[in-house]
Structure formats: structure tokens, C-alpha cells
Amino acid sequence: MGFEVDEDILQDFLVEASEILEQLSEQLVTLERQPDDKDLLNAIFRGFHTVKGGAGFLSLTALVETCHKAENVFDILRTGQRRVTSELMDVILRALDTVNAMFAEIQSRQEPTPADPTLLEELSFYCQPEQENETAPSAEAAAPAGNSIESLNEQEYQQMLGELAAEPEQEQAASGSDSDDITDDEFEALLDQLHGAGKHGGVPAETPAADTAADKNTAGGDDELIDDGEFEALLDQLHGAGKGPTATSVPEKSVPASSQPAKAAPDAKPAAPAKAAPPPADTTVRVDTKTLDSIMNMVGELVLVRNRLLSLQSGHENEEITKAVTNLDAVTGDLQGAVMKTRMQPIKKVFGRFPRVVRDIARNMKKEIELEMVGEDTDLDKNLVEALADPLVHLVRNSCDHGIELPEEREAAGKPRKGVIRLTASQEGDHILLGIEDDGAGMDPEKLKNLAIKRGILDADGAARMSDNEAYNLIFAPGFSTKVEITDVSGRGVGMDVVKTGISSVNGSIFIDSEKGRGTRLQIKVPLTLAILPTLMVVVGEQTFALPLTNVNEIFHLDLTKTSMVDGQLTVVVRNRAIPLFYLQDWLLRGGKRDRKAHGHVVIVMIGNQQVGFVVDGLIGQEEVVIKPLDQLLHGTPGMAGATITSDGGIALILDIAGLIKAYARRYA
């Protein structure tokens, strides 16, 4: 490939191919469950075909070769000459992995590595109609050296080009439908989308997009524009002199009616009349994420100014100022919401990879697992989508490995052979709730406690007082694993610790519940966005601190003389439940422990399903803050998530609740 091609064309290919490859991963797993779905077979065929066409236009021969063979497999499948089998799907999924690896190299502006010859050999086998008692090629068999595009002689190369030119006609004949035809306006709109209205990159209006790509390849990837005479010569080279595509030989999908040659065959269909209405203007625009982040930062600064003006206005009774500040408050809120929407992405960006993950694990572990997904269109901040990807993969893999039993075990327990994993996503207020639920073996709290004692994580007395829900949370302890045998999927005791750390890093929380023999349910709660954080502003000593509101459960005023000590830990009883109590002044102020007052405000926070009480000196109230990173000198300070400017113009540190407890709880118990 020559990376000197037009960058806009390359970017268009990368965007389109990325979306297609994401869809293919989910579509292929669905096809294995619905092998007779003709629409799905056609959709997958078109996916590989489209990626191949774009790759051919850019002279990405290695990618063209792999996509071409995968496309041929689905041409055989959709015409009923072969059945979908698990073995065939293994090969196709490996081919998709190879295509994805090549695509990643192209994104990095590297020449794609050719596919493994063994894979190409297996694809070639499945490109043939199914035979009785056939034997698939072994994984060790190497493909002949002459199979690559680079090794074709001139005659073979011309034959392949002829096949490529005929493929659109074969595709329409096989599908038996013209439902994919596009109109003149749609064709013009596609050109406008690629090159801008009225700027079709110098390609004549009569030139079909597919033929243009083929012509470019035939011409050796030359980027220079060609005139009509050169174009006709290339058509003659492809089809033979005087045998270019006519209205009868080229389907409307490839050549719009208005683009057909003037000298059509006698029995050609009459060209469709051109529509007077112009194509609809493109209403979308691609914006770099750095630009969005910059706009979001400016909106954050505007929020700080808004907060400051609201604070100043409360001390004045000027009606005009009040109206102006109120109007600014409303406009700032609307602007904040609008900018946040531009950063939103559907959770499907993460969910889309799980059908493949579950399929591969189930096949590897000889299990039968069905994946259900609900709420894939739920939107959340793009940074959260990226941050949640790895934790969710860990949880889904954990459900497949630890949760769902082998079919024989499920049958013996009176369950269906096939286990079910259910992924859900929904928005509740300014938070997103994600659920991972399975109907597997569940967890035994006593077994978890015994394992924790054995590994020194817990003592016997602590285990005896621990509730079942607290026992379930032991799986998040570093190095804790219930797996006796280490496998490729789990058993090393690092996955769930990483999950909790990852979720805490985005100000999220995780709740776990389980029932032995019935299954396990995990619920993750994360904020809609990371840019602006709702907090509870509190006073400790003479300093202001911000507690993320997502962690705050309740607040009350307490007579601190009514506390008690349990095993050396200060506790307070709230609704018949003992909650550990800590003075934030002991952790946050210089000098450690100080004289404790008889009365104080207690803020109950939630860490997972564990409640902890913090004693503070004063409450300011709820406030939306913009998170600012700490200075390099303060990086790594335990329990500090960042800083912000308060409504009165001061500076407040934003507390990381989980980090605080981890760093200080044992020291100041």
C-alpha cells in the first residue's frame, strides 16, 4: 500500500471498515445460533465484500485476499451449497481476527501482514460446495506458496479481476432480490458524503464506485485522475473490447440508471428518469475527540464561574442581577448537557464484543451458554466506555468460568443444559446501572470465608461476624481466587481485584449478590460523565473537602458519646446495624488525632455493599465541581482524587473514598 494516498479517502475507509468489523463479530456469533438466517448470511457477505472493496481501492492486497476468501465462503453458504458448522465458524472467526489485526496495522500506517497460509488453505476448502464424507484440512497443513495475490501471473491476475467485476451480478442473482438497489440520488449522496457536495474527487459522474476501485487497482494504484478515454480503455481491458458493462449486465446496485452507457443492448431496461429533488445534505460532521475535550473543559470553567456568581448573588437583593444570574444558570446547564451529549457513546461499543467472548469460552470449556443483552443503546461518556471495557470483560469471563456449570452438572441439578448470562444497562438519573447476571452455581459464603482464612486475608473471629454479602465481596480481595486449577480464563486471583480498582477509578461502585445453586448478580453504578462531578462539600477543621455524591448514602447529626467500641473499632448503631466510625480529622489534618467533640455530623458512605461512617465538623451542601488534576508533587497522595475550585473561590480536595479507607483505616482504627 502507498500511504501517500489521499488522507481523507483513507480515513473514510478506516471509519467505515471499523464499524463493519465491529458488526461482523456479533453477526458471526449470531449466525452460529441461527444458521438458516438468509438475511444474516447476506449481511455478513456484504460486510466482507465492502471491506474488500475499500481495501482494493487502497491496494491493500493482503487484506483483499483474506476478505475475498471469506466472502466466497459466505457466497457458498447463502446459495445453500454448504451448511454452517462449528468447525467452519472457527475458521471464519480466525479469519476475522486476522482481518482485525491487519486493520490495526493499517491504522498505524503499517503494511498489513499477510494471513497465515494455513488459514487461507482452510478458507479455500470451505469455498467449495460441501461433499459427502469430506475431511477438512488439518491445522498443520500449509497453503501452496502460489496462492497469494503477489504470486499470480498476468493471466491469473486478469482472470481474478474479471471475477471481481462479475461479483455484483452474482451477488444479486444469488440473493434473488433487488432490495439493495440504490437510486440516482442515493448514489450522488454517497459520493457527496465521501468527497463533499459537488466535489467527487475528479471521478466522472458516469463512473460506478465499484468500477472506479477496480480501475484504480488495474492501473497499479495510481492516484492521478483519468480522463474518459483512459477510463473506456480500462473497461475494455477488464471486459474485452466493446464488451463493457451494459444496463443488462450490471445491476442497479453497482451502476445507477443515470450512469449506464448511452449505447445499451436492444433489450436493455430503459433508464430511470432523473429525480428533480436534490439529494439531502449531510447533517453530520466528524470532530476530533481532543476538540470535544477542550470544549468540555471550557464548559467546566463556565460552571465554576456560574457557581461563583450564584454564591455572590445570594448576598444581594438586586432584582436585575438575580434575573441575569438565573438566566446564566439555565443557559450554562443547557450548554453543559448539550456538550455532554456530544461525548456520549452507546454501551453497545462494549457489549458488542461479548458474544464472541462467550462463544469462544463456551466452546473451549465444553459448556453451553446463551448470552442475553438488554439496553445496548444506553449512552454514557466515551471515557467511561473505554474505562469499563476491561472490567466488564473480566466479569463476563468470570461468569462463564466460575458461574455456568458443565451441561451434565446442570442436568443433574435439574437445570437446562444451556446456561444464561444476562447483560443489562440502564440510566437512572445522573448514573448508569450495569448488570451481569448468570443462572449458574452461585457462591457459597462459608467456602469463601474458609478460603479467606486459609490465605490469611481474614481471621476466624472476623469470618464468624461476617454477613453473606460481605463474604461475597471477598472475591475482590487482591490475590483471592476460588479456582483450584489455573486456566487460560481464570485462577490467578488478579481479575476481580482489577475490576474493583477499575470501577473505583471512575467514581463507580459495585454490588454483588448470590444464591448457592441459583446464580450470581453483580450491579455496577457509574456516573454519566467524568468531566463534572456531583459532590457533597464538607468541612474538616477549617478546610473544605468534596465527597463524591455517588458514595454518600445518608447524613445525620449524632451525639458522639453514644458510640461504642467493638474489637477496638469505634462503631455507631444505625437501624440495628453496627457501622464502623472514623474521624476524618485524624486522616486529613496535620497532627493526627485531636480532641473529639461531643456532637458532630456523620456522613455514611457506601463502598461496594459495605457502609462506613465519617465524622466531619460541618456540612456545606451539594455542589457540582470540575475535577482538576493534582500537581505532580501531590501525585500518589493516598485518598485524593483531584482538586476543584469551590463556589466561594476557594480550593477543595476531592476525596477518593476507597483509597482513603485502604490507606488509613488500619492505621487509625
DSSP symbols for 239-298: H-TT----TTTS-TTTS-GGGS-SS--TTPPPPPPPPSSPPPPP------HHHHHHHHHH
Flag whether 537 is in a domain.
yes
* Model pLDDT for residues 32-74, shown as the tens digit of each residue: 888 888 999 999 999 999 999 888 888 888 999 999 999 999 9
- Which of 96, 124, 151 delimits the end of a domain? 151
Looking from the CA of 30 toward its CB, the CA atoms found within 13 Å total 16
Choice between 174 and 78, residue whose per-residue pLDDT is larger: 78
Q: What does the DSSP 8-state code read for residue 628?
A: B
CATH number at residue 114: 1.20.120.160
Flag whether 443 is in a domain.
yes
Flag whether 277 is in a domain.
no
Q: Are residues 4 and 139 in the same domain?
A: yes
CB-CB neighbours of 3 under 10 Å: 11
pLDDT > 90: percent of the chain: 18
Report d(CA 503, CA 524) in Å as an integer.
Answer: 8
Flag whether 271 is in a domain.
no
Q: Identify whether the C-beta of residue 668 lies closer than 8 Å to the C-beta of residue 614.
A: no
Report d(CA 489, CA 483) in Å as an integer.
Answer: 10
Q: Identify whether the C-beta of residue 165 lies closer than 8 Å to the C-beta of residue 238.
A: yes
Q: Which of the listed ranges 5-14, 18-27, 477-486, 522-531 does the model predict with the highest average pLDDT?
A: 18-27
Residue 622's pLDDT band, with cuts at 50, 70 and 90, is confident
DSSP symbols for 456-499: TSS-HHHHHH--HHHHHGGGGSTT----SS--SSS-SS-HHHHH
Flag whether 171 is in a domain.
yes
Q: What does the DSSP 8-state code read for residue 562?
A: G
CB-CB neighbours of 400 under 10 Å: 27
The whole-angstrom distance between residue 315's C-alpha and the CA centroid of its chain comes to: 47
Grid coordinates given for 95? 479469519
Q: Are residues 160 and 90 in the same domain?
A: no
Q: Which helix (H) or strand (E) holds 56?
A: helix 38-57
Flag whether 276 is in a domain.
no
* Model pLDDT for residues 399-435, shown as the tens digit of each residue: 998 899 999 999 999 999 999 999 999 987 777 889 9
Q: Are residues 494 and 642 in the same domain?
A: no
Whether residue 253 has pLDDT greater than 70: no
Flag whether 269 is in a domain.
no
Q: Are residues 297 and 241 in the same domain?
A: no
pLDDT > 70: percent of the chain: 71
Q: Are residues 215 and 330 in the same domain?
A: no
Q: Are residues 424 and 548 in the same domain?
A: no
The pLDDT of residue 192 is: 60
Q: Are residues 51 and 132 in the same domain?
A: yes
Burial class, 284, CB count within 10 angstroms (exposed 0-12 / middle 13-18 / buried 19+): exposed
Q: Are residues 518 and 540 in the same domain?
A: no
Q: What does the DSSP 8-state code read for residue 401?
A: I
Give the domain extent around 29.
Answer: 1-151
Q: Are residues 125 and 214 in the same domain?
A: no
Burial class, 65, CB count within 10 angstroms (exposed 0-12 / middle 13-18 / buried 19+): buried
* Model pLDDT for residues 507-534, shown as the tens digit of each residue: 788 889 999 989 999 999 888 776 677 8
Report d(CA 655, CA 545) in Å as an integer.
Answer: 7
Q: Identify whether the C-beta of residue 351 lies closer than 8 Å to the C-beta of residue 375.
A: no
Q: Are residues 230 and 321 in the same domain?
A: no
Q: Are residues 6 and 112 in the same domain?
A: yes
CATH number at residue 309: 1.10.287
Grid coordinates given for 372? 442475553
Flag whether 481 is in a domain.
yes
Q: Identify whether the C-beta of residue 408 lies closer than 8 Å to the C-beta of residue 415.
A: no
DSSP reduced 3-state for 592: coil
Q: Are residues 359 and 325 in the same domain?
A: no
- Which of 218, 246, 263 delimits the end of a domain? 263
Q: Is the pTM of this model over 0.75?
A: no
Q: Which bin fits 337, alpha (ψ -120 to 50), beta or left (φ > 0)?
A: alpha
Report d(CA 273, CA 543) in Å as an integer.
Answer: 76
> Mean pLDDT, the chain, as a whole number?
76
Number of domains in the chain: 5
User: Any residues with CB less than 8 A from the CB of 433 and at least 6 apart, and which?
Assistant: 424, 425, 426, 427, 523, 524, 525
